[in-house]
Amino acid sequence: MDETERLKLPYIMPSQAQKHVTHNEALRMLDALLQLGVADRDRSAPPADPQPGQAHLVAAPGSGDWSGRGNQIAAWQDGAWSFFEPGEGWRAFVAEEGRLVVFRDGAWAPLAFDIQNVEMAGINALADATNRLALASPASLFDHEGGDHRLKINKAAPAGTASLLFQSGYQGRAEIGLSGSDDLSLKVSADGAAWADAMVVGAGDAVPGFPNGLRLGGADILTGFATGTFTPTLTFATPGDLAVSYSVQTGRYWRLGDLVFAMVDLQATPTYSTAAGQLRIAGLPFTVAAPQVAMTFQHGSASPTYPTGTTTLVTRPETGQTHFILMGLGNGVAQSLNIAHVPSGASFIARTLLVFRAA
């Protein structure tokens, strides 16, 4: 055997003349192959002006002085090209690409690192005990592999947190996820210390809530939504000895911010001898700040009587009160209903929808 098995370095043989020649040849080979670094690996022909010690991985099949030298290491030494056949597992640093490549299965390919079950990893960043995966980059891409792609964030128990935290200057400004419960929440903060829920979606009912209100189109904040029932009553400006029996007496409201929608269904029979004045339907669930629209209503009685000159009946919630009045409208006429239009002992029906702003 006259050479080493792996690097093919020539041996100095017994009684060999000019031993320095063999020794220098081995040194030249070591100089080219030890700590192997090459300029590039996409060149199939030699450069026009190679520099001493410059090396390349010849792109197959090779041409010119590199003809037939595909995948070999070409090194410019002593004014000539030297070629070295790589072995399985040889590694080289490619300066043009800034990466390590490995010779495997007859070709050079980027070196793949085994990163299974590593304690931490930093990509252009320093990982630590809390941020065990750290990345500094203009963007991140989580791509599909022919179908869907799902990002999973898991927590151990409902009281824990599984969320995405958005920061500005390393201070939290917004957080979305499961924070302290299994309800989906969106939180915001102006300083990274004090947080407020902007939206919470219940895990059980899937209904979104807005604890701090809702702003639509830049308008005033709608501070909450509520719904409920109330009991409307028939009365007059001066009740006197008024007594009322009811066959239907229902009211329901929907409140969004200070805007109230109230539905009334009232069927009653008033009896009186001393009552006087304006007819009123009382019992609204909120004090009226401002009526929004005049709504028509269904009216009926045993002796239905409209105010003189009117053809339409409407409702009007009264500012600062918890009642609404009933009015007749006609050509140039607007008159409220009173005892003359609701006789004692006659049945009375009022069905209507009210819209007003609550105080």
pTM of the model: 0.48
Residues 196 and 252 in one domain: no
Q: How many domains does the chain have?
A: 3
CA–centroid distance for 113 within its chain: 34
Residues 307 and 185 occupy one common structural domain: no
Distance between start and end Cα atoms, the chain: 105
Residue 148 placed within a domain: no
| 221: pLDDT strictly greater than 70 | no
Residue 190 burial (CB < 10 Å; 0-12/13-18/19+)?
A: exposed
DSSP string, 139-195: ------SSS--------SSTTSEEEEEEEETTEEEEEEEEESSSSEEEEEESSSSSE
Residues 233, 352, single domain; the answer is yes
Same domain (yes/no): 93, 169 = no
Q: Is 229 helix (H, G, I), strand (E, B) or coil?
A: strand
- What is the number of alpha carbons within 13 Å of residue 101 lying toward its C-beta? 26
Q: Are residues 202 and 263 in the same domain?
A: no
| Whether residues 201 and 246 fall in one domain | no
Tell whether 187 and 253 lie within a shared domain.
no
At residue 315, does pLDDT exceed 50?
yes
Pairwise CA distance, residues 224 & 103, whole Å: 67
The count of other CB atoms within 10 Å of the CB of residue 281 is 23
Q: What is the pLDDT of residue 302?
A: 45
Cβ count within 10 A of residue 239: 18
pLDDT tens profile 179-200: 999 999 999 999 999 999 999 9
In a domain, 176, yes or no: yes
Residue 94 within any structural domain of the chain: yes
238 and 197 within one domain: no
pLDDT band for position 258 (50/70/90)? confident
- Tens of pLDDT, residue by residue over 130-162, are 999 999 999 999 999 999 999 999 999 999 999
In a domain, 121, yes or no: no
Inside any domain, residue 153? no
5 occurs within a structural domain: no
Instruction: Provide the CB-side half-sphere exposure for 119 (13 A, CA).
Output: 4
Residue 222 maps to a domain:
no
3-class DSSP assignment, residue 174: strand
Integer Rg of the chain from CA: 45
Residue 354 domain-assigned (yes or no): yes
- Name the residue range of residue 66's domain: 35-110
